Structure formats: structure tokens, C-alpha cells
Chains A and B, each alone.
Chain A
Amino acid sequence: KNQVEQSPQSLIILEGKNCTLQCNYTVSPFSNLRWYKQDTGRGPVSLTIMTFSENTKSNGRYTATLDADTKQSSLHITASQLSDSASYICVVTRMDSNYQLIWGAGTKLIIKP
């Protein structure tokens, strides 16, 4: 069964600290893995897209890693800011589909001052 599981479900950290969010997937055949940031009540915004051959990709203070062998990804946030408070969603695209994305339920991150 195609699934994307994220952990933790929620996380609270202090401003300025680093954190790492996890994503495990069982999607096959794999095409790419995406991380989105979703502010409360807003649409998701893309952070990174990684293909099978990429194992690290950065977007400012966000760094995503991908281990295609173990089917795991992580999103590391450096020097967190209050504006990083949001849900972070891991999404895997199937190679054999023009449209099908398998969405994780997201990790809700709260940054406290």
C-alpha cells in the first residue's frame, strides 16, 4: 500500500533552535519527494523537490535529505524563526502516474519566543 508517514505529529521548540522532521514512505514506483510548508488556513507552498538521485537539497534555512534505499527523508530547519510555525508536509510522487501524489498528514511545528 502506498503510504507516507511523518513524525512527530507535532513539535514545539524555542526560537533559534534547530529541529528535524521525519518522513518514511512505502510508495512505489518512486519519482520524487516533496516537502511543503503550510501556514494555518493557507495553501501549501513548495520547499524542495528531490528525485531518486538527489540525497540533499537546501532552500535557505531548510535542508531536506533523501535516502531512497531506506525510503526515508528528513527536513532540517536551522536557527528557527517564529515564522517557521506551520505544518510541514512530506509528499511522494509516483512514477507511473500523471497526477497521483501520496500526501503525509504533516508535522505541526510551533516556534515559541
Chain B
Amino acid sequence: DADVTQTPRNRITKTGKRIMLECSQTKGHDRMYWYRQDPGLGLRLIYYSFDVKDINKGEISDGYSVSRQAQAKFSLSLESAIPNQTALYFCATSDLRLAAGGELFFGEGSRLTVL
């Protein structure tokens, strides 16, 4: 089984619908992240969490929200999906501070298409 599991792997939805992408991890890491990847661009950070009660906005949080239900679970929600949120979404975890050399461990990705 994968250490970082994302569901669903693929989702097609319509504009205005609410969507939740879920992430669970078995690595025991406190730090969790949600990234978005668009063709030709680097990954962009949406939200991150360093603990169950800690939620922080990243570079592109508008239109998204997150919930850290437990150490192992971090969910990303699109309250009202729009076509330009069509992208590949990745959940990641790390054991240490990234500036201290902490490694990032990624899930397999969730491909979201908004029509």
C-alpha cells in the first residue's frame, strides 16, 4: 500500500459543484501539504498544515479550503468548482522542516476536470 493515498484519483465534475479530495498517510508525519500542478508550470502550494490544529494558506488558496481531521488525514475542498481549477492535485507529507532538508513524500495525485 502507498504511504500517501489520495482519493479519488480521477474526477470529472461540473462548474459550481462542491468537490472534496482526500489524503491519508501512514508515514506518521505531522506536516502535510496540498499542491496543484498545471501543464508547463511548477507545482504551486495551496494549503499546508504542521499539526492537527494548524492550517495555513499557501500561494494560491483562493477558491479552496482544507480540513485536517487527524494527523493522518488532510482534505482539500473546492466549494464551487470552476473550469480553471482543472488540474492535477497532489498531497504531500514531510517529517522535517523543508528548509532543514525535510523530504517531501507525494501521493499519486488526483486529476480533476471541471466542465
Taking beta carbons and an 8 Å cutoff, which residues of A are in contact with B? 4, 31-32, 41-46, 49, 51, 89, 91, 93-106
Contacts and interface: CB of A to CB of B under 8 A. Distances in A.
A105 B40 contact: yes
Contact of B103 (A42, A49, A96): A49
Interface stretch (B62-70, B71-79, B94-102): B94-102
A32 to B, nearest CB: 6
15 contacts: A31-B100, A42-B108, A43-B108, A44-B43, A44-B104, A93-B99, A98-B97, A99-B45, A99-B56, A99-B58, A101-B98, A101-B104, A102-B42, A103-B42, A105-B40
A52 B104 CA distance: 19
Contacts of A106: 42
A43 to B, nearest CB: 3
Nearest to B91: A43
Contact of B99 (A31, A43, A45, A105): A31
A89 B42 contact: yes
Contact of B104 (A46, A95, A98, A100): A46
A32 B109 contact: no
